[in-house]
């Protein structure tokens, strides 16, 4: 099988080729237009996808040294994501499918984050996956290929969303997550204790209160600008501590209650250095295996779509031309 993967759920236009020999290419065209607005503008994202998708797919094929005639299936992100952005990818995939008579595979974006761990490794089932990104935060028990159960999700802001919104409060550029992570490395995580929500309420998450707590904390300072200038790295470290502590404590609970011997990190926030170190310490303490994808496969990319499509093809999980995008979990379940 030779799979072409296409990703366009948010602000990354991406294409990749995956075969039985492994990943052959992974091309990402990032959209810088959103930085001036402090967040992704859906209409601008759709237009950017429309302009770059064919060039990105062509580059992925050329890099993999594969022709369109050699593609056995097209895997494309079906959701969740921005509806307009998803439509660009799906319409392109459908057009190629009709023109070349190539089967389609609609891929759940969140599943793909989990199975990105299979690009370079072969995690053993069952395992628990902590999937954390800008739009979603969830704990999933995976008992076999696409045999999974969501243990808990965020009730409001996702972890990555909290990083970005708090970064905006701190005056940091978008996306703020990587900036906060870098500044945290030279800050004191115990400088201020920000709230850790829902620690005793199952596997659900909530991060909106943390954003409000940071805002109120800064408003109480007499000279906010000078305080931030002096303690920005400490505040970033304290925010990172609050977010990652909640994530790891919930992950511990999920592992202990399910009895699995493997756990995974997935999604853009799995690139966070503090989260990675805490997850490694937890795995060592519990004596279980930890899988974390390479940095290139943490944020949105087409390699994860292609490898997930490859695994779905092995299970006979194909889609038809009636496939429609879905913007949220409920529509895709």
The response to whether 113 counts as a known ligand-binding position is yes
Cα–Cα distance, 160 to 51 (Å, whole number): 27
The response to whether 135 counts as a known ligand-binding position is yes
Listed in sequence order, the DSSP H helices in the chain are 42-64, 83-100, 109-115, 159-169, 177-184, 208-219, 224-258, 273-286, 303-314, 329-332
Residue 116 per-residue DSSP state: G
The response to whether 181 counts as a known ligand-binding position is yes
Asked if the peptide bond before residue 11 counts as cis, ω within 30 degrees of 0, the response is no
The response to whether 106 counts as a known ligand-binding position is no
Q: CB of 108 within 8 A of CB of 95?
A: no
Measured in whole angstroms, how far is the alpha carbon of residue 330 from the centre of its chain?
Answer: 18
The response to whether 177 counts as a known ligand-binding position is yes
Write down the pLDDT at residue 37: 57
CA–CA distances in Å: residue 162 to residues 240, 244, 312, 332: 10, 12, 32, 24
pLDDT in tens, 130-171: 999 888 899 999 999 999 999 999 999 999 999 999 999 999
* Both structure tokens of 153: 């999700």
pTM attached to this predicted model: 0.93
Cα–Cα distance, 333 to 328 (Å, whole number): 9
Write down the pLDDT at residue 174: 86
The response to whether 134 counts as a known ligand-binding position is yes
The response to whether 200 counts as a known ligand-binding position is no
The response to whether 171 counts as a known ligand-binding position is no
Write down the pLDDT at residue 132: 95
What is the average per-residue pLDDT within 10-39? 84
CA–CA distances in Å: residue 179 to residues 10, 145, 170, 182: 20, 35, 11, 5
What is the average per-residue pLDDT within 229-241? 98
Q: 181-218 burial, b if ≥16 CB within 10 A, otherwise e?
A: bebbeebebebbebebbbeeeebbbbbebbbebbeeee
Residue 7 pLDDT more than 60?
A: yes
First to last CA, the chain: 27
Domains of the chain: 2-114+297-332 (3.30.420.40), 124-292 (3.30.420.40)
The response to whether 132 counts as a known ligand-binding position is yes
pLDDT in tens, 161-216: 999 999 999 999 988 999 999 999 999 999 999 999 999 889 999 999 999 999 99
The response to whether 95 counts as a known ligand-binding position is no
Q: Is the dihedral of CA 277, 281, 286, 290 positive or negative?
A: positive
pLDDT in tens, 71-102: 999 999 999 999 999 999 999 999 999 999 99
Q: How many residues in total does the chain contain?
A: 333
* Both structure tokens of 295: 């940095």
pLDDT in tens, 239-270: 999 999 999 999 999 999 999 999 999 999 99
Write down the pLDDT at residue 275: 98
Cα–Cα distance, 37 to 48 (Å, whole number): 15
């Amino acid at each position: 099988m030779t799979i072409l993967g296409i990703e366009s759920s948010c602000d990354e236009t991406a294409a990749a080729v995956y075969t039985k020999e492994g990943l052959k290419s992974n091309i990402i065209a990032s959209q810088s237009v959103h930085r001036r607005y402090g967040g992704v503008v859906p209409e601008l994202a759709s237009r950017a996808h429309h302009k770059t998708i064919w060039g990105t797919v062509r580059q992925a094929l050329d890099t993999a040294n594969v022709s369109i005639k050699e593609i056995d299936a097209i895997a494309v992100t079906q959701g969740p994501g921005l509806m307009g952005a998803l439509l660009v990818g799906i319409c392109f995939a459908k057009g190629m499918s009709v023109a070349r008579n190539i089967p389609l595979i609609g891929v759940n974006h969140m599943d793909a984050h989990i199975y990105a761990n299979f690009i370079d490794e072969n995690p053993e089932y069952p395992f628990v996956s902590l999937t954390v990104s800008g739009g979603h935060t969830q704990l999933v028990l995976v008992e076999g290929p696409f045999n999974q159960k969501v243990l808990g999700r965020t009730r409001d802001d996702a972890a990555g969303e909290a990083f970005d919104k708090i970064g905006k409060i701190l005056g940091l550029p978008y996306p703020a997550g990587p900036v906060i992570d870098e500044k945290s490395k030279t800050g004191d995580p115990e400088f201020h204790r920000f709230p850790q929500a829902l620690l005793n309420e199952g596997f659900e998450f909530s991060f909106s209160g943390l954003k409000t707590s940071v805002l109120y904390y800064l408003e109480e300072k007499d000279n906010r600008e000078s305080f931030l200038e002096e303690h920005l790295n400490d505040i970033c470290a304290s925010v990172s501590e609050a977010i990652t502590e909640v994530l790891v404590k919930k992950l511990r609970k999920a592992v202990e209650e399910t009895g699995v011997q493997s756990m995974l990190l997935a999604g853009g926030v799995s690139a966070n250095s503090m989260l990675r170190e805490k997850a490694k310490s937890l795995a060592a303490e519990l004596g279980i295996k930890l899988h974390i994808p390479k940095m290139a496969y943490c944020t949105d990319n087409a390699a994860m779509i292609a490898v997930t499509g490859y695994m779905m093809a092995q299970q006979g999980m194909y889609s038809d031309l009636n496939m429609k995008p879905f913007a949220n979990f409920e529509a895709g379940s």
